Structure 1
Amino acid sequence: MNVLDLYERSARVPVVGRRAFSLAAALKAPYFLTIAPAVEELRPNYARVRVRKWWGVQNHLGTVHVIAVANGLELAMGVLAEATVPPHLRWIPKGMELDYVGMASSTLIAEAETDPADWAEPGEVPVRVRATRADGTVVVQGVIRLHTSLRPARA
């Protein structure tokens, strides 16, 4: 069963199902747990993750630390990639270019987007990412680049 199927099944159990899905997604790389993520929307080519502002991710200014923001964007990218990648391809992050354009002074929404054509063949997939504050102000924006290649044949 793929990630998108699991996400859709989780919707059958309101609140608890989505919390369980978000926890399972965060456990794939335990440092995601520090951002207390909640996957709010997931479909091919799009993901939205809530990153909670709490004392464990705040910097000396009382805002969400930029690395915590990057973790939220990486989680959004990862669930998007798993929900979108064709079965004959696999992916791995290749690089990240982020611009910090505002103060992360509230809980954030981390979004990741791609175009369907990006996944047509092996190569590079640019995942557009942005994090916004509760008031809609963008605080981080950029691109996470993925490398896709053919999945090896099973023996």
Structure 2
Amino acid sequence: MSPVLNLWKRTTGLPLVGESVGKRLFSLGFAQKAPYFATIRPRFVEVRPNYAELVIPKRRGVHNHIGTVHAIALCNGLEAVMGALAEVTIPKDKRWIPKGMEVAYTAKATSDITCTAETTQEQWETADGDLLVAVKGVRDDGTVVIDGTIRLWVTPKK
């Protein structure tokens, strides 16, 4: 089991603190691994192979000049959720690194934003080079505010 998936299961399964506190502990720990992620204060909702979900809270620290969640904060959320997915999904004999991101900003981010990343197991098993991870961010009312793909470079471990 990957260290990230192990941390998810350990923190969300703590009997004395409850699942929601465990998710907060995981979110804090994950953001420490790549400290830039802490700027959006991600709150992970679900982490499992081929799927991850987090929430970016709408707060002043991520606002742009019009009071909505800034586009780069949205991209940061997408990269964080993709990273969690990649860490818990990639086969043990492979490694990954982000290679690029293509996104479309489709609506104003006027609420908390739920970011998701999805792949299939077949993508990981057959990956030899580029692997596309589908990512999106959704407002509380269900409106997609950012949609795109993150291109990973997946290669065998040496």
TM-score (structure 2 length as normaliser): 0.93
- Answering whether residue 97 of structure 2 is matched by residue 92 of structure 1, we say yes
What are structure 1's unaligned runs of at least 5 residues?
A: none
Structure 1 equivalent of residue 70 of structure 2: 65
Between the aligned partners of 1:46 and 1:57, the Cα distance in structure 2 is 25
Structure 1 equivalent of residue 5 of structure 2: 4
Amino acid at match of 2:71: V
- 1:120 is paired with a residue of what secondary structure? helix
Structure 1 equivalent of residue 23 of structure 2: 18
Cα displacement string for residues 90-149 of structure 1 (whole angstroms, at most 9, x for unaligned residues): 000010000000000000000000111110132211000000000010000000000111
Between the aligned partners of 1:134 and 1:21, the Cα distance in structure 2 is 23
Structure 1 equivalent of residue 109 of structure 2: 104
Identity percentage over the alignment?
49
Cα displacement string for residues 53-99 of structure 1 (whole angstroms, at most 9, x for unaligned residues): 10000011100000000000000000000010000000000100000
Between the aligned partners of 1:136 and 1:37, the Cα distance in structure 2 is 19
Between the aligned partners of 1:7 and 1:52, the Cα distance in structure 2 is 20
Structure 2 equivalent of residue 146 of structure 1: 152
What are structure 2's unaligned runs of at least 5 residues?
A: none
Amino acid at match of 1:9: R
Cα displacement string for residues 2-35 of structure 1 (whole angstroms, at most 9, x for unaligned residues): 2112111111122332111111111122111111
Which 4+ residue blocks in structure 1 deviate beyond 6 angstroms?
none
- Answering whether residue 120 of structure 2 is matched by residue 119 of structure 1, we say no
TM-score (structure 1 length as normaliser): 0.95
Between the aligned partners of 1:5 and 1:34, the Cα distance in structure 2 is 24
Amino acid at match of 2:101: M
Cα displacement string for residues 31-58 of structure 1 (whole angstroms, at most 9, x for unaligned residues): 1111110110011100001101100000
CA-atom RMSD in angstroms: 1.0
Say which is worse superposed, 100-109 or 18-27, in terms of deviation. 18-27
Between the aligned partners of 1:52 and 1:101, the Cα distance in structure 2 is 19
Alignment coverage as a number of residue pairs: 152
